[in-house]
């Protein structure tokens, strides 16, 4: 009995060490004079990009128009519209990250890219857009 307790204790400790390793190694990058976790979800980005520290980012979660390109927290591809979207395996191969199968800020933005707008893929000739959208 004692040895079982000891084993469980050791297992628990290993899990704690692993958790600690995972959280203390979340990748952080310099970002406009601040330090930001680049794997954050939309909520993490919007903690600053909601008008409090920066100007408000137009995001579209309901009805998306061309004037607000920020589609977030939407499944990829949208159900029933698969023919209009490049298959998920191909966008992954192109470097696009989906979070839980959804488009989020870091699907389009790579904070490690120092260029203007920190895009995952530069958007000349709408290259970024056509990585996901089929014309």
User: From CA 36, how far away is CA 54, in angstroms rounded?
Assistant: 14
Decide: is 90 part of the binding site for ligand HEC (CB under 6 A): no
Residue 77, preceding bond cis, omega within 30 degrees?
Answer: yes
18/92 with CB nearer ligand HEC: 92
User: From CA 104, how far away is CA 25, in angstroms rounded?
Assistant: 22
Alpha-carbon distances, residue 6 vs 2, 9, 11, 122 (angstroms): 6, 5, 9, 54
Decide: is 116 part of the binding site for ligand HEC (CB under 6 A): yes
11/95 with CB nearer ligand HEC: 95
Decide: is 32 part of the binding site for ligand HEC (CB under 6 A): yes
Decide: is 53 part of the binding site for ligand HEC (CB under 6 A): yes
Decide: is 99 part of the binding site for ligand HEC (CB under 6 A): no
Decide: is 6 part of the binding site for ligand HEC (CB under 6 A): no
Angle at CA of residue 108, ends 105 and 110, nearest 5°: 85
Decide: is 36 part of the binding site for ligand HEC (CB under 6 A): yes
The one among 29, 99, 113, 123 contacting ligand HEC by CB under 6 A: 123
Closest to 46 (Cα-Cα) out of 118, 106, 119: 106
- Tokens of residue 116, six digits: 């203007």
Q: State the minimum distance, in angstroms, from the CB of residue 83 to ligand HEC.
A: 12
The one among 28, 29, 31, 94 contacting ligand HEC by CB under 6 A: 31
Torsion sign, CA atoms 79, 83, 84, 90: positive
Closest to 88 (Cα-Cα) out of 103, 72, 110: 103
**Which residues contact ligand HEC (rule: CB under 6 A)?**
31-32, 34, 36, 38, 40, 42, 44-49, 53-55, 57, 59, 64-66, 69-72, 74, 76-78, 96, 103, 105-109, 111, 116-119, 123, 126, 128-129, 131-133
């Amino acid at each position: 009995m004692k040895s079982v307790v000891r084993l469980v204790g050791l297992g628990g400790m290993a899990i704690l060490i692993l958790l600690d390793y995972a959280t203390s190694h979340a990748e952080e990058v310099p970002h406009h004079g601040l330090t930001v976790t680049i794997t954050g979800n939309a909520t993490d980005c919007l903690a600053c990009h909601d008008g409090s520290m920066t100007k408000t980012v137009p995001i579209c979660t309901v009805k998306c128009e061309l004037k607000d390109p920020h589609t977030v927290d939407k499944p990829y591809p949208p159900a029933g519209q698969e023919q209009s979207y490049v298959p998920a395996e191909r966008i992954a191969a192109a470097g696009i990250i989906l979070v839980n199968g959804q488009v989020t800020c870091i699907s389009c933005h790579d904070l490690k890219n120092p260029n203007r707008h920190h895009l995952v893929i530069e958007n000349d000739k709408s290259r970024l857009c056509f990585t996901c959208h089929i014309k």
